[in-house]
Chains A and B, each alone.
Chain A
Amino acid sequence: MKKEPRDQNRNSPSKFNDEVENISAARAPSDLERAKMGPLKAMAASFGLPRLIITGFLLLMFIAAPFVGNDFWTQISNVINRFSWNAILVLAMVPMIHSGCGLNFGLPLGIISGLLGATLSIEFGFTGPVSFFMAILIATPIAVVLGAGYGWLLNKIKGGEMMIATYVGFSSVSFMCMMWLLLPYRSPTMVWGFAGKGLRTTISLEGFYNEVLAGFWQIRIGDNFKIPTGTLLFFALMAFLMWAFLHTKTGTAMTAVGSNPAFAKAAGVDVDRLRLLSVVLSTWLGALGILVYEQGFGFIQLYNAPFYMALPAVSAILIGGASVNKASIANVIVGTFLFQGMVTMTPTVMNSAIHMDMSEVIRIIVSEGMILYALTRKTEGGAR
């Protein structure tokens, strides 16, 4: 029934409609066209094919889970927990995409600031929830300084941000690998027992800020359904602040820089300063993101762990519908949920269904495939 209006349009002799069709094929459909298309097609068009496939896959997993003997509520709870750990790391992508710096493959730099904050907070002897807030407090200036340097570098190399961001991330992680061994940490909970120096690869947060947010107002139903209310609220707060920031004068100017730098410059916007600000913001959110991740996960992971942490965050926001130069908070939420849902559901369901753990392979193919898909799309607005 609902398909009819569209068919009528196609058969109409008016040449104008043909042209509308042609144009709409090339760009995202407007509300009017969406209304004409009928619900299913409209959803496909605004959602994008890859996203639809992943959503379908995830739904299939949710439906299949009870049949192969997994508890449905455990799965849901797992997905929500994973979502709460990762959402802020994905949110960290938003400012840089908005200012036209592309996908922040240099997220490890922010993560390192967070790790420094975390380890220093423990080293200075803070415990319990205080250690979490001290970690944020210590990580902030580090993230601002590192982010400023990183932003300055990215301003020098406009157009090649993504590749260089990747390698800035890698170099900083491998540099910190040396530093974790060399820096004079002394806290017995963190250093190798026998040598008395050099940080361990994983540090337990038991007694520090393990589940400090997740335990706040936690909702428990039965044994295996937990909702980390505190973490979700914290993310909601951050997302709201980000949304509010993007609607301030500075925020809109930042978006203008991303969508059309020449125009922004002509309008008197200091392009370099706004790009720098976006990178600092992104780095700081990365630092915050890893701290939130750790409080959920319960461990600090050092050395090689941050190497590939940028890629899941990048693909999550792309799965959510962002492109190389456009992203919204909704993209973050949808993307993180879909990506983390896929990552947590696939192994359990696959394992119980066919006794074959292909989850890692599927994760790689989907997440990298998503990034590739985004990279091969034409960027809108001519940011280059």
Chain B
Amino acid sequence: MDEKKSFGARALAFARDNIVPILFIVICIICIPLSGFSPSYLINEIVTRMGRNIFLILCLLVPIMAGMGLNFGMTLGAMAGEIALIFVSDWQIWGIPGVVLAMILQIPFSILLGLLCGSIMNRAKGREMITSYIISFFMNGLYQLVVLYMMGSIIPIKHFSIKLPRGYGIRNTVSLLNMRQCLDNLLAVNVKGVKIPVLTFLIIGVLCLFIVWFRKTKLGQDMRAVGQDMEVARDAGINVERTRLISIVISTVMAGFGMIIYLQNMGNISTYSSHSQIGMFCIAALLVGGASVDKASIGNVFLGVILFHTMFIVAPRAGAAITGDSMIGEYFRVFCSYGVITIALVMYETKKRRNKSKTAQELARAAAEETAKEAAK
């Protein structure tokens, strides 16, 4: 009897802790048959999207480890990646060499942006998320200034296919046709009509190993200590500011790599909008996988990508099937992404408050016992 009750309670606690993934599994189960997609099409799409997105989402893990929450500033890395790709396509270096060159080229940009972002976030401790969110908007302004006005006028851009007709500024879309899926197609394996981009997955695997290894290094341990409690970490002799800065720089650089992988799969750059959506979708996907603001694992990333993108693929068709209007589905998936982030943030904050009051209660109880002991003496 007692055991049964505890099982029920445990199931309830499990459901409460994992409400977001469970909700999404339910949505997917309802929507998949309604959408009428064939399983092979669905699997193919999901595998493609996994290869495209996982690297980008993995870059969110490091700042979470350092207790800085969801890094909305990952868009900065995405911008660095885009700028590098614009240069490479201007220089007409295509295929694998182009991708590799862009990856190398984006490193200094993203390190610079990461340092900027990290130092601003160090000045706004306790408000990192909203700050990084605003930074991403702010940098979007600077990015537009550089790409729309300086490229071609101050920064030399030779090729006319990517320049606006007025002589300066980059076109709305930059085609990467000669680079399209070159990473994915190298070593690709076809299993029953499902194309598996082995090389991309290998790169992702290497990154996963890197993260697992990084957690065990001195720096990784420092980050976890900082994430647990900044003051305690500082007392233990850890340079808190520097550690936090490094975590953001790593995240930004990785986001730059991720963006290049993402864009070579897409085959073109939407110069002024690619990066602004990427942050939201990556964060939503990570949260769908069951991560929270202070805890996220590689498993969350994989589960999140699969669930989130299944919803993303099937929602418009399912929405059209239910209401006869395909726009409903489009809006529905946007609503889901925002809703998921909201729920996850609310859950995180309530949990934080609950823990805080629990600690306070324990402290109070300990203090009471102490006084009782004193009185007994």
Contacts and interface: CB of A to CB of B under 8 A. Distances in A.
Query: Does B associate with A?
Result: yes
Given A178-B328, A358-B145, A375 B127 contact: yes
Contact of B353 (A158, A198, A368, A384): A158
Given A175-B335, A178-B335, A181-B325, A376 B350 contact: no
A48 interface: no
A160 interface: yes
B138 A364 contact: yes
B349 interface: yes
Given A162-B130, A181-B331, A198-B325, A364 B135 contact: no
Interface stretch (A111-119, A163-171, A213-221, A272-280): A163-171
Contacts of B127: 162, 375
A163 B335 contact: no
B342 A171 contact: yes
B345 A361 contact: no
A181 B345 contact: no
A160 B345 contact: yes
Interface string A146-171: 00000001001111101110111011
Given A171-B335, A361-B145, A371 B134 contact: yes
A177 interface: yes
B123 interface: yes
A371 B132 CA distance: 11
Contact of A166 (B133, B323, B334, B348): B133
A364 B345 contact: no
Given A167-B342, A376-B123, A361 B141 contact: yes
Interface in B310-351: 323, 325, 327-328, 331-332, 334-335, 338-339, 341-342, 345-346, 348-350
A369 B134 CA distance: 8
A360 B134 contact: no
B328 A157 contact: no
A164 B129 CA distance: 10
A375 B124 contact: yes
B120 interface: yes
Contact of A160 (B140, B339, B341, B349): B349
Given A157-B350, A178-B331, A372 B145 contact: no
B137 A157 contact: no
A181 B324 CA distance: 11
A162 B124 CA distance: 13
B334 A361 contact: no
B368 interface: no
A374 to B, nearest CB: 9
Contacts of B148: 361
Interface string B127-163: 1011101110110111011001100000000000000
B353 A364 contact: no
Contacts of B327: 181
A159 B131 contact: no
A324 B123 CA distance: 14
Nearest to A371: B134
Interface residues of A, number: 38
B149 A375 contact: no
Interface in B111-134: 120, 123-124, 126-127, 129-131, 133-134
A163 B334 contact: no
B284 to A, nearest CB: 10
B342 A168 contact: yes
Contact of A174 (B134, B325, B338): B338
A342 interface: no
Interface string A347-384: 00000000010101111110011011001100000001
A182 interface: yes
B346 A364 contact: no
Contacts of B135: 372
Interface of B is mostly: helix
Q: How large, as a class, is the contact surface on chain B?
A: 35 or more
B84 to A, nearest CB: 21
A166 B148 CA distance: 28
Contacts of A368: 134, 137-138, 140-141
A356 to B, nearest CB: 7
B316 to A, nearest CB: 12
Interface in B214-254: none
Contacts of A311: 137
Given A174-B338, A177-B334, A181-B327, A365 B346 contact: no
A171 B331 CA distance: 11
Contacts of A157: 345-346, 349-350, 353
B353 to A, nearest CB: 7
Given A178-B328, A181-B327, A372-B131, A167 B141 contact: no
Contacts of A167: 338, 341-342, 345
A174 B137 CA distance: 20
Contacts of A375: 124, 127, 130-131, 134
Contacts of A175: 335, 339
A101 B135 CA distance: 21
B141 A364 contact: yes
> 7 tightest A-B contacts by CB?
A364-B141, A157-B349, A368-B138, A365-B141, A174-B335, A376-B123, A177-B331
25 contacts: A156-B349, A156-B350, A158-B353, A159-B349, A159-B352, A160-B345, A163-B129, A166-B130, A167-B341, A167-B345, A171-B335, A174-B338, A174-B339, A178-B328, A181-B323, A181-B325, A182-B323, A356-B149, A361-B148, A363-B141, A364-B140, A365-B145, A372-B131, A375-B131, A376-B124
Interface of A: 105, 153, 156-160, 162-164, 166-168, 170-171, 174-175, 177-178, 181-182, 198, 311, 356, 358, 360-365, 368-369, 371-372, 375-376, 384
Given A159-B353, A371-B138, 11 more contacts: A156-B353, A157-B349, A164-B349, A167-B342, A170-B338, A178-B328, A181-B328, A182-B328, A360-B144, A364-B137, A365-B141
Interface of B: 120, 123-124, 126-127, 129-131, 133-135, 137-138, 140-142, 144-145, 148-149, 323, 325, 327-328, 331-332, 334-335, 338-339, 341-342, 345-346, 348-350, 352-353
